[in-house]
């Protein structure tokens, strides 16, 4: 399995910014991720409350 480029605190920081009504495409450009990757991780975090593969 491929290792993530970003660690959990970085991912959570980006998601917190998105919750504060920052435009997602702008946020993705700023952090160097694709919008598809953002929404994949966001769906997992918002569904389970954590990044898959990370302990609770």
**Share above pLDDT 90 across residues of the chain, in percent, rounded to a whole number:** 12
Across the chain, mean pLDDT equals 80
Q: Residue ranges per domain, the chain?
A: 8-48
Q: Where are the alpha helices (DSSP H) in the chain?
A: 8-19, 24-31, 35-48
Mean pLDDT of the 8-23 span? 84
Contact between 8 and 54 (Cβ < 8 Å): yes
**pTM for the complete prediction?**
0.68
- Two tokens at 21? 């009504």
pLDDT at 5: 78
Residue 4 to residue 55: CA distance in whole angstroms: 15
Mean pLDDT of the 15-28 span? 88
């Amino acid at each position: 399995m491929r290792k993530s480029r970003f660690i959990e605190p970085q991912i959570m920081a980006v998601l917190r910014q998105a919750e504060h009504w920052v435009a997602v495409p702008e946020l993705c450009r700023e952090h160097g991720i694709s919008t598809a990757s953002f929404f994949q991780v966001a769906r997992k975090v918002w569904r389970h409350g954590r990044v898959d593969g990370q302990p609770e």
